[in-house]
Amino acid sequence: MTGATQFGEPRAFPARDADRRVLRLGLLGAVTMFLVHPPADLWMLAWLAPIPWLILARDGVGTARHPWRRLWLAGLLHWLLTIHWLRLPHPATSLGWLALSAYLAAYLPLFIWGTRRLMTRYRWPLVAAAPVVWMGCEQLRGSILGGFTLGSLGHTQWRWTTLIQLADWAGAGGVGGLVMLVAAALVTAAGAGGRGTGVGGARPGWRPVALALATAGVALAAALGYGAWRIKTAPLDPRSLDVLLVQGSIDTELKHDPDAAVEVLAEYDGLTRTALGAGPRPDLIVWPETMWRWPILEIEPDHELPADVVERILGPATPAAGRRDDAEGSQAGDSHTDHDTSIESAAVRQARCRAILEQDRLDPLAAHARRYATTWLVGVDRQLISSRSSSGVFHFNSALFLDAGGVPVGRYDKMFPVAFGETVPLADRFPILYRLTPLPAGLTAGLEPVVVTVAGLRVAPTICYETALPGAIRGVVNRSAAAGARPDILVNLTNDGWFWGSSELDMHLASGIFRAVEVRTPLAIAANTGFSAVIDGCGRLLERGPRRATGTIRAAVHPDGRTSLWLLAGPVPTATAAGLLLLLLLERAVFARLKRDRSTLPATVTVPVGDGESDGVQDR
């Protein structure tokens, strides 16, 4: 039987029909929600796409025997379709595609359950419960296991510049919540005149429908009004940075090709020199992530190089110099002079050898920088030789600034390596884990953001998927501002050549657009295979490069400089929603335990059947 409430009972379906209904609506929603993302990119339908899932949240799952299992299968289909590109880099990444999709699929049953819980136990209307739970799910998805935000519902609306201005206080999750609110209002209205039901099974009257539609209308109008105001009041800073973004088109594979480095350099150097021509130089040239294929080297001062390496670089030590030092020490009457001189001589040779090895890696970069005759920001791997590493080497994904004279003036090490893509958790302690992956070694995370002044403007680099992590970009801006150097312009260096021109490029670009709005800072992107782009502080896409083709972008990037509630306080709306969702889970777990405790009472005690709630699942 189903526990009744004053709201009535959920619609009754035979168990087999209920199972089929849950699966049918779940799969329909999986497909419609996939179609609003690239590659289909039917973005205006995003306001209708959640309707099948919302019908389940509105009516409950009835007498279905395994509703959450079926909803998880629907979620799995959705994510397998949406992030299909994750299988492209390497056969091993297909396992990651399956594993990540299986994890993300759990958020669909959580969304249906959480929405239904608020509706039945706490009497929330669908138009309030659905957007709150959706924002909570997106916040959790963007936080757990390092966070995964690609494929967010709000990202579908990146073209609607006026609408997405609300991201500067609610984030992309807030935009998705607004889309879900409007869809929930439509489902509520449809339930008044059709087969749908309200909370507990009763059809909603005209007043709840009117309230739902009015709530959605007011929320949408308020968001558009706020967006229009933010765009109208955007500053017109006369300063600008003349940037040249260089986009090659080189598909990337997880295999070592000794000729690839030369080919990459030839393509990028040729594009750069052609774009420069004989005209005035830009203030900054940007190459994408790791497009300089030879790692730069740094050796810690306390690391002792092998003697044969030192001798090969410097040649053998001169015996005469040692005997002369010994003689001078003997004349001074110091019995320890020859010992001290020997140590000093070895230390000097070690220092000279380190400097030569490090400079040998920098010299080719410096030669190109002098040829370009302007500041150059280039993506490059960095190796740090250190006794602190179990392998003897720390690996970094870096962005290196060189001035017109070829002198390094700043270096940023990526602070947020991609789990299982650039690093394997715990592999620093158990290196054998890398044998289970196609990765030869993992990246070490950088420690702090870097800001370099170019032509009077402060530039902060980021690398690859850091623009897909809202907290990462917020941290770069806030930490730099705390040090007295808030960036005027963000630059992202990325290599999306792993994904062969697929819809991953579109999703990555949409993430960058939302980051620019959230932190009110323009973003320039240099991406191998695309999409290179220039985005202003309002999220307007000013320039975009081609898909899986070569090109260059020469653009004047103007600072924005505004602050935002997102910068000041972080994701308050979505974090609050996530907290509420976690409390629902905790409350349900506690209630279930109390229910189990009651089941241990003596048989003579009468215990009610079920939990006394109409949560859409028949009690047994």
pLDDT tens, residue by residue, 204-249? 678 889 999 999 999 999 999 999 999 999 999 999 999 999 999 9
Cα–Cα distance, 418 to 319 (Å, whole number):
52
Amino acid at residue number 111: F
pLDDT tier for residue 610 given thresholds of 50, 70 and 90: very low
pLDDT for the residue numbered 430: 59
Instruction: Flag whether 604 is in a domain.
Output: no
User: Which of 10-19, 389-398, 515-524, 537-546 is predicted with the least confidence, judged by mean pLDDT?
Assistant: 10-19
Cα–Cα distance, 411 to 19 (Å, whole number):
57
pLDDT for the residue numbered 338: 46
Is residue 220 domain-shared with residue 283, that is, in the same domain?
Answer: no
Q: Are 123 and 619 a contacting pair, CB within 8 Å?
A: no
Is residue 120 domain-shared with residue 213, that is, in the same domain?
Answer: yes
What average pLDDT is seen over the chain?
87
Q: Are 30 and 6 a contacting pair, CB within 8 Å?
A: no
Is residue 221 domain-shared with residue 195, that is, in the same domain?
Answer: yes
pLDDT for the residue numbered 485: 96
Joined tokens for residue 141 = 């998805």
Instruction: Flag whether 611 is in a domain.
Output: no
* High-pLDDT (> 70) share of the chain, %: 82
List of E strands, 329-473: 375-385, 393-402, 408-413, 452-454, 457-463
Residue 279's CATH number: 3.60.110.10
pLDDT for the residue numbered 431: 61
Is residue 511 domain-shared with residue 373, that is, in the same domain?
Answer: yes
Is residue 267 domain-shared with residue 409, that is, in the same domain?
Answer: yes
Cα–Cα distance, 68 to 60 (Å, whole number):
12
Is residue 438 domain-shared with residue 477, that is, in the same domain?
Answer: yes
Q: Name the pairing type of β-strands 452-454 and 457-463.
A: antiparallel
Cα–Cα distance, 264 to 428 (Å, whole number):
31
Is residue 309 domain-shared with residue 384, that is, in the same domain?
Answer: yes
* High-pLDDT (> 90) share of the chain, %: 71
Cα–Cα distance, 137 to 388 (Å, whole number):
40
User: Which of 147-161, 357-371, 491-505, 591-605 is predicted with the least confidence, judged by mean pLDDT?
Assistant: 591-605
Domain that holds residue 173: 15-233+570-598
Mean pLDDT confidence for 397-420: 94
Mean pLDDT confidence for 108-125: 96
Domain count, the chain: 2
pLDDT at 608 over 90: no
pLDDT at 286 over 70: yes
Amino acid at residue number 237: D
pLDDT for the residue numbered 453: 98
pLDDT at 475 over 80: yes
Tell me: the pLDDT tens digits for 585-607? 999 888 767 666 666 555 554 44
Q: Are 233 and 223 a contacting pair, CB within 8 Å?
A: no
Mean pLDDT confidence for 294-304: 93
pLDDT for the residue numbered 18: 87
Whole-model pTM: value is 0.87
Distances from the Cα of 274 to the Cαs of 63, 279, 344, 372, 551, in angstroms? Answer: 68, 11, 50, 11, 11
Cα–Cα distance, 306 to 170 (Å, whole number):
56
Cα–Cα distance, 485 to 482 (Å, whole number):
7
